[in-house]
Amino acid sequence: MEWGYPRRWLAETASTNDVARDWALAGAPDGALVVATHQTRGRGRRERTWDSPAGTGLYASFVLRPDWPADQAPNLAIVAGMAAFRALERAGVANLRIKWPNDVLANGKKICGVLVEPRLGAGRIDFAVVGIGINVGQGAGDFPPDLRLPATSCRLENAPISVDGMLELLVQSLYDAVRAPFGALRATWIAAGAKEQEPEL
C-alpha cells in the first residue's frame, strides 16, 4: 500500500489526533492519515489551543508504527518537526527556523505546530500519532489576537500554495524523514535552530 494511505477526509472534527488514535487502536497501518478541513478543538502541546479555521490551514494526523524502543519516543518530535520544516521549505517559505521542540517559525512568526502522541507497550513504541498543523492561506486578520506567538501563513510569506498541495509536500517529507538516518536528521534539526532541553515559557 502506498505510504500516506489509507486516508480519512473530514469536513469537521474535534481533533484529527483523536480520530487517528482511535483508528490506530483499531489497526490503522503505518502511514495512515486523517485530514480535516476544520477542527473545533485542535490542540498543541500541554493542551494549548491550535486555531483551526475552516479551509485555510492544513490539519493532518499520521499514524506511525516505527520499530523503536520506548525510550526513543521523544525522537519522533524531531522527525515530525523536520518533516514540516522541509515541506515548508519546498513550498517556498523563506527564513524558516525550528523553535524548540517542534514549532516552525517563518521570519520569527509561528507557521506550524507539531503534536506527537505515542502509545507505548512492552518497552516498544506500539504506535504514535503525529499531528501537524500548518497555516496555509490565512490573511493577517484571520488569527485570534491572543496567540502566544505572532502567527503567519504561507500566503503571508509570499509562498502561495493550496492546502492540498501543502499536504502532498508534507506526506513526502514525513516519509523521507522517517526513513532518514536519525543522527543526520537531528543535526539538521539543531542547525535549524532547535536546542534540546530548553526551558519552556
| CATH code: domain of residue 138 | 3.30.930.10
Count of structural domains within the chain: 1
Measured N-to-C along each axis, helices 182-191 and 75-90 cross at an angle, to the nearest 10 degrees, of 60
Rounded Cα gap, residues 26 and 71, in angstroms: 24
Query: Model confidence over 15-37: pLDDT tens digits?
Result: 899 999 999 999 999 999 999 98
Is 198 inside a domain boundary? no
3-state helix, strand, coil in the chain (%, to 5): 30, 25, 40
Is 201 inside a domain boundary? no
Is 99 inside a domain boundary? yes
Q: What is the pTM of this model?
A: 0.90
What domain range includes position 176?
Answer: 7-191
Rounded Cα gap, residues 103 and 115, in angstroms: 9
Query: Model confidence over 152-184: pLDDT tens digits?
Result: 999 999 999 999 999 999 999 999 999 999 999
Is 29 inside a domain boundary? yes
